[in-house]
Structure 1
Amino acid sequence: MIDYSHSWISLLPPLFALGLAILTRRVLLSLGLGILLGALLLFSFAPWGSLKYLGQGLLGLVVEDGGVNTWNMSIIAFLLLLGMMTALMTLSGGTRAFALWAEERVRGRRGAQFLAFFLGIFIFIDDYFNSLAVGSVARPITDRYRVSRAKLAYILDSTAAPMCVLTPASSWGAYIITLIGGILLSHGIVDYSPLGAFVAMLPFNFYALFALLLVFAVIWLQIDLGRMHWHEARLQAFEQDSSAKASPDEQIQEHEEGRALDLVLPIVTLIIATFASMVWTGAQALQAEEAAFSLLGAMENTDVGLSLCLGGLAGLAAALVGALRQKMSWPAIAHALKIGAKSMVGAILVLFFAWMLGGVIKDIQTGQFLASLTQAYLDPQYLPLILFLVSAVMAFSTGTSWGTFGIMLPIAGDMAAATEIALMLPILAAVLAGAVFGDHCSPISDTTILSSTGAWCEHIEHVTTQLPYALSGALIAAVGYLALGMTASLSLALISASLAFLLTVCALYLWSQRLKATRPQG
């Protein structure tokens, strides 16, 4: 394979796939052509070498090191389990009953959106789990109050990764703490423990903080921009939700006497069983290493994929109990399970293509090329802003925030140690913020794909409708990092970012009101 680690050519496959997806709105075709272009570039357009590489890449998604690729297959299994669980909740009437129950307590469209928002805040175990579980609970309510699936997908996506990156007791937090510990050790920094450094970095993670605040403002002020306004206006005019795709609910006959408990019990079971499984698998790993048990240690060593599957099985069992309680026939249950599993095929195909493109991007060394660009900019006062932007571009291009963390955090640590050691934590936080922003916007990001899946929203509709909001959050964060670099003061940086937030919200609100005035809702 040709080494493109120092060439702009390494940017071609991801940018080609991303641009084509946005232009054509055909995700699988765009990802497939991006994968093909990357393979041809890696092997100098030699057909046989490129085809052999693609075959090995496809096989590697299923088989790894002579065995099953447990991570990929665990995520696929969890998706299938969740699809079947959702179908059973619909069959038993739980989805319908919960929507009727919530309708008496949730006040209007704003309340339905706040329900999704607060669920996203409190369910922070893992971003995949957050997007899919919260989507399953909130979707019946937002549908009933005629909130577009695109708006729901935006709320899911904007609470999943930002909450996970801010929470130590999450799969993201444990991974980041492990990376930070290695960086601190390599530079002889003993003032902070890895957990202490993570907590100290939280106020510097401007994008995650202001992205959450922006969701709150968007819901409260009903700020609908661009194509999001178009979808919302159509729904308010009692037209079809053009951002929605078919879900199992539309193909299954719901039981008339279902109870809200038939939806709540499976979801609560799923949450408790998943968290318990994460602690258990982490404790098993600690025991194998003969290390003392701690909750943080368990979360650092947990097997997320296996935990999701165990939680999914428990949730499916609880949903099956609800269907059997309604005395549903086994043929009806089997039919619902088939529809539920089939409903996830589209998301699984997009994930497979995204994983393949991720492998191509890794081999063509897009991340290494982007990381090398930072070496040309070593002025300490601009480092937080530069690393935020470079991490954002890397995560957007590669579709992975975790991969960006792995590449950029050690580089950022080295740059801080070589220039201004006092900027170590702010710079590391800027990398985290940039990675979350890029991942938030990227059509090939797992979290973006699963957010559209959780909301049952057309994937490209989700990407294009949330982009104005994500870019607004990035602008606010950029102001904060520029002020941080120039003043070296967290207080002044937060004040600057807060002022930028207020100005941005005012501008977005006025834009939204102008759209509503020029395009009446029916």
Structure 2
Amino acid sequence: MINTVFSLLPPLIAILMVILTRRVLLSLGVGILTAAVLLSEFNISKTFSIILTATKGIFISDGELNTWNVYIILFLLVLGVITAFISISGGSRAFGEWAMKRVKSRAGAQMVAAFLGIIIFIDDYFNALAVGQVSRPITDRQKVSRAKLAYIIDSTSAPICVVSPISSWGAYIIALIAPILVAHNVTETSAFSAFIQMIPMNLYVWTAIAMVFIVALRNINIGAMRVHEERAVFEGQVLDSNKPAPGELKEDLPTSNKGTVGDLTWPILALVIGTVGSMLWTGYTAIEGKATLLAIFENTDVAKSLILGGLVGLTVTMVLFFRQVFIFKGVNGSLMVTGLIEGVKSMLPAVYILMFAWVIVDLIGQLETGAFLAQFVENSNLNTAYLPVILFIIAGVMAFSTGTSWGSFGILLPIAGEISAVTDISMLLPAMAAVLAGSVFGDHCSPISDTTILSSTGAGCNHIDHVMTQLPYALISAVIAIAGYVVFGLTGSMVPAWLMIIVLLLMFIFVFSRKKNV
């Protein structure tokens, strides 16, 4: 069953069930069970042993604490507590009122979220959660649905990180590229230079980001997104109250009427400074040789940095809460326990989904689903002119099925290098850029992707609602990117490929702007 076509069954079953039942934990659970059955070769007792081992692996790996997963979970819980106390201190209310005077349209609120997504390019996890915290009061006041906010967050987190050399993603990709260039005797280009040259070749990323601004400015609502936007505009409900939304407080907490904008901005600013500072510190302390900015980001411990930054943000939040209690007398001190409990409870749905996703990704890895798809690429008789478009599609399928773009990078980038080296070395950079683009696309669409999960958490949107409303925009962006890669294959130049993308985006604007939108 390992490294065969059957290895595709668990992700396909999980994804199909998610679409059909809209029950994410049930769907992931069935996918996990299917993967374990295949790994155990239908041995029932071994099946449950495999599931138990994979679940244990979330917390304990190689006899040691799995700090990456544990720190991510703790960061989510800390962020939930910060959100609760910002609300209690009156920060969210004050910030919403302040924003209403300056952001006076639904398009403006969406543009603020989009620009914040681009500015915060250090890490996709941090991007998704931080942008959500800042943007939610603004978009809620302007009656922008949480589904639309989640789409904006998701489309400006991983896409902007994958083309930023100074980010956790950029450092990881450059580290992968370096040995590929050495292996194929490409000495005239450094790994950093190759990364920079690949940025304009990542057609999906730029198409997806352009789509965000088009959708925001032209108010284009496709498919299920129209339902959410109409409910927000006409009924004032930014999310479906009948569905659980990770990151959303379960009950209305008492709010201080003496809160200020600073009660929201100072905790978020402390969170940003604390996280970025921790990333610089953990990266610097891990370097043995010369400490360059790129080397720092290559060696940084993202998960540790997130929890350290979260604790800094939480400390500032609690100081402001106690100021409201003892100085302004705006709220009762007994709300401290309530805030802690409600903050943690608000993040539990996201934690559960994330844990299930980690388990199924682990089992899919053991089934070597990615390796099977990679082998398919290697064994295919590819026309090198169409290598980028084919790799884009394969990377998209792989990332969608496995829920990890980084895993797809690790598997497919060396394969792209190998195929290019033995056929046409001039295709090396476009082929690797297409792998990056396709992996982000697949990850963007996958309901089992941690980035997708955290985007819905940051926006306070039901996870499946986010997946289903985002899918049409992601697919349209992918089709436009594919057309660009086809033109590149025909012409051998990125200039006509970009012209094709611009023309198709203009056609998209013309066609969908004529339709009646909210």
Class of the TM-score when normalised by the shorter of the 2 chains: over 0.9
Instruction: Compute the displacement of 1:141 (Å).
Output: 1.0
| 1:432-447 alignment, distance < 5 Å | 432-447=436-451
- State the shift of 1:42 in Å: 1.3
State how 1:191-210 maps to structure 2 within 5 Å: 191-210=188-207
The corresponding residue for 1:495 is 499
**Aligned counterpart, 1:251:** 252
1:241 deviates by 3.6
Q: What residue identity is the alignment partner of 2:503?
A: L
Query: What pairs up with 1:108-507 in 2 under 5 angstroms?
Result: 108-238=105-235, 240-243=237-240, 245=244, 247-248=248-249, 250-286=251-287, 289=288, 291-327=289-325, 328-375=331-378, 376-507=380-511
Distance 1:445 1:497 in 2: 27
- Closer, same or farther: CA 463–243 of 1 in aligned 2, 3 Å: farther
Q: 2:59 aligns with which of 62, 69, 79?
A: 62
SS of the residue corresponding to residue 344 of structure 1 reads helix
2:255 counterpart letter in structure 1? E
Residues 92 and 254, structure 1, Cα contact 8 Å, conserved in 2: yes
Report the 3-state secondary structure (helix = DSSP H, G, I; strand = E; otherwise coil) of the residue aligned with 2:259: coil
Pairwise CA distance, 1:505: 2.9
Question: Relative to structure 2, which stretch is displaced further, 267-276 or 500-509?
Answer: 500-509
TM superposition shift of 1:351? 0.3
- Tell me the distance in 1 between the aligned counterparts of 2:252 and 2:407: 38
Deviation, structure 1 residue 242: 4.2
> Alpha carbons of 1:249 and 1:345: their partners in 2 closer, same or farther (altered >3 Å)?
closer
Distance 2:74 2:250 in 1: 20
Q: 1:1-150 maps to which residues of 2 (within 5 A)? A: 2=1, 4-5=2-3, 7-150=4-147
Percent identical among aligned pairs is: 51
Shift of 1:250: 4.1
* Paired residues of 2:143 and 2:237 also in contact (CA < 8 A): no
CA distance in 1, matches of 2:213, 2:251: 30
Contact 1:87 1:249 in 2 (8 A): no
- Counterpart residue type for residue 490 of structure 1: M
Query: What's the RMSD between the two structures over aligned residues?
Result: 1.2
Contact 2:145 2:237 in 1 (8 A): no
Does the 8 Å CA contact 1:251/1:339 hold for their aligned counterparts? Answer: no
Give 3-state SS (helix, strand or coil) of 1:190's partner.
coil
Is the 8 Å Cα contact of residues 113 and 131 (structure 2) preserved in structure 1? yes
Shift of 1:385: 0.3
Aligned equivalent of 2:328? none
Secondary structure in 2 aligned to 1:248? coil
Shifted more, 331-340 versus 297-306: the winner is: 331-340
Is residue 248–residue 339 contact of structure 1 (8 Å, CA) maintained in 2? Answer: yes
CA contact (8 A) 1:128 1:450 kept: yes
**82-91 or 368-377, which moves further after superposition?**
368-377
Q: d(CA) in 2 for partners of 1:215 and 1:310?
A: 32
Deviation at 1:506, TM superposition (A): 2.4
**TM-score, reference length from structure 1:** 0.95
What's the CA shift for 1:476? 0.9
Q: Could you tell me how far apart the structure 1 residues matched to 2:396 and 2:143 are?
A: 33
Cα shift at 1:329: 4.1
What is the aligned residue count? Answer: 508
Q: Distance in 1 between matches of 2:240 and 2:191?
A: 43
Q: Taking structure 1 as reference, are residues 434 and 50 closer, same or farther at Cα in structure 2, changes over 3 Å only?
A: same
Deviation at 1:251, TM superposition (A): 2.8
Query: What's the TM-score once normalised by structure 2's chain length?
Result: 0.96
- What secondary structure does 1:318 align onto? helix
TM superposition shift of 1:39: 0.6
The 8 Å contact of residues 377 and 383 in structure 1, kept in 2 or not, is answered as no
Give the gaps of 5 or more residues in structure 1.
Answer: none
Offset of residue 249 of structure 1: 7.6
| Greater displacement, 294-303 / 236-245 | 236-245
Summarize deviations over 1:73-96 as a string: whole Å, max 9, x none: 010011011111111111100010
Which stretch shows the higher mean deviation, 357-366 or 234-243? 234-243
Does the 8 A contact of 2:78 with 2:310 survive in 1? yes
The one-letter amino acid paired with 1:72 is N
Structure 1 contact 150–243 (Cα < 8 Å) conserved:
no
SS in 2 for 1:104: helix
